[in-house]
Amino acid sequence: MSKRGEGGRWLPGESANPSKQFAPGNPTRFQPGQSGNPAGKPLSRVQFERALVEAITTQGTPDEAAGLLWEAARRGEAWAVQNLLVRFWPTTQTLKIEAKTSNDGYNFSRLSNEQLEQLERILQAATDADQSARGDGEAPLPQIC
């Protein structure tokens, strides 16, 4: 059953050999872990892009370029309108970061720096006492009055 249309061209959505196109062992099939374009951009494309940038930056003035952009936008060219919108009304991006920690319901933000330092010393003394009682360290037990 031929999947070609008039003139011998393949119909849309059909390939030259669909039964083998994605079959394992097909040497032209993408291999696992391999990029679909391992060679990167073709050299001709890179050279074209460099030549285009060179031509744009050495010919004409920024005012001429702006004029051409405005003319295209007034003609209703979608790319020009979008370019102007992006330049004059950039989209705002927001990022909300939440850090959840287990602090047993205590709100440490209400404490002053002095109180936080005092709490840190108390916790350090308690940790040192735990290690000393287990024989993990040599810190003396704190004296409680």
Q: Look at residue 30 in the predicted model and tell me its pLDDT.
A: 66
**Confidence at residue 138, expressed as pLDDT on a 0 to 100 scale:** 55
On whether the CB atoms of residues 35 and 42 are closer than 8 A, the answer is no
Q: According to the model, what pLDDT value does residue 63 have?
A: 86
Asked whether residue 71 carries a pLDDT value surpassing 60, the answer given is: yes
Distance CA 119, CA 116 (A): 5
Give residues with Cβ within 8 angstroms of 132, minimum separation 6.
138, 139, 140, 141
pLDDT (0 to 100) of residue 136: 54
- On the question of pLDDT at 22 being above 70, the answer is no
Kindly list the domain boundaries of the chain, sorted by start residue: 43-88
- Res 38 pLDDT > 90: no
Spatial distance between the Cα atoms of 119 and 124, rounded to a whole number of angstroms: 8
Q: What is the mean pLDDT of residues 129-142?
A: 59
What's the rounded mean pLDDT across residues 118-145? Answer: 70
pLDDT attached to residue 104: 73
pLDDT tier, 18 (very low <50, low <70, confident <90, very high otherwise)? low
Lowest-confidence region among 6-10, 15-19, 76-80, 100-104: 15-19
Q: Does residue 87 carry a pLDDT above 60?
A: yes
Which H or E run contains 65?
helix 62-74
